[in-house]
Amino acid sequence: MTRTAALLLALAAAPAAAGCSAALGGPVSVTDADTLVIGVKPDQPGLGLRTGEGRFEGFDVDVALYVAGHLGVAEEDVEFTAVTSAQREDVLRSGDVDLVFATYSITEERKSLVGFGGPYYVAHQDILVRADEEGVEGVRGLEGRTLCQGEGSNSADRVIEEKGIGAELHEEPAYGDCIAPLLDGEVDAVTTDDLILAGYLAEEPEGLRLVNAPFTDEQYGVGIAAEDVAGCEEVNRAITLMYQDGTAEELLDRWFGDTGLDLVTSVPQFVGCG
């Protein structure tokens, strides 16, 4: 159980007349944390990947450590835990994690359930196909195709529902599980954020091709408890500083500099807290 969750349970158990919330200085916030549990993806190369040693590495992990340092929490006091797309709201709302950095696109539906700092980067939805696939050069080329997406994601829905493309949906537990079916010809394409796809392409450069035809903006937000407005605002200050001091550009170049993507190194426009 995280420190935040433990404090929330203590507040819930206390008599209402005791005024414990006020005595503890108001709502629990990550700004008061000595340790942090942070949810990241375990299977997205370049973003959040669990190594053979059990460590996590990638752009999301490095951004999370930068934000944690700004909050006054040292790297050794940060615990990373794996989350899937489908788990992100649940682990935040239950207090199992304090923050989520997991290619977590900000949407109105998700904002009704949890809070968001950032975005810390704006990616773009694109398409990954087999290297020998010549019939897909843009989103319209997905008509009649089978698309794979990770459970809990909305990427394929944006193609099928928002773009009106007549494609068939195939779901796997996570996006990493879509790569083998794609290579084997069981599905025709994987469509999600270009940073995610670039990581998989780097691992299978001979077998896969990035169409490089972006068609949405994906605001990567920092998932946080909906009531933690102070924490959200501090996260935004950290992200601003990360871009101003050159760290964001350095991290983007480290993880995606060889992908050919047009990387944006200016501060994203924040969605606002509360």
Task: Report all structural domains of the chain as residue ranges with CATH numbers, in order of start.
Answer: 3-123+218-256 (3.40.190.10), 125-210 (3.40.190.10)
3-class secondary-structure state, position 78: strand
Mean pLDDT value across the chain = 89
Kindly calculate the radius of gyration of the chain based on its CA atoms and give it in whole angstroms.
19
pLDDT number for residue 53: 87
Q: Which of 55, 143, 69, 125 is nearest to 99 (CA)?
A: 69
CB 251 within 8 A of CB 59: yes
What are the pLDDT digits (tens) for 100-152? 999 999 999 999 999 999 999 999 999 999 999 999 999 999 999 999 998 88
pLDDT for position 8 = 44
Degrees to nearest 5, angle at CA 105 with 100 and 110: 80
What is the full per-residue pLDDT of the chain (274 aa) written as tens digits? 454 444 444 433 333 332 222 234 445 899 999 999 999 999 999 999 999 888 999 999 999 999 999 999 999 999 999 999 889 999 999 999 999 999 999 999 999 999 999 999 999 999 999 999 999 999 999 999 999 998 888 888 889 998 999 999 999 998 989 999 999 999 999 999 999 999 999 889 999 999 999 998 899 999 999 999 999 999 999 999 999 999 999 999 999 988 878 888 999 999 999 7
Which residues touch 161 (CB under 8 Å, ≥6 apart)? none
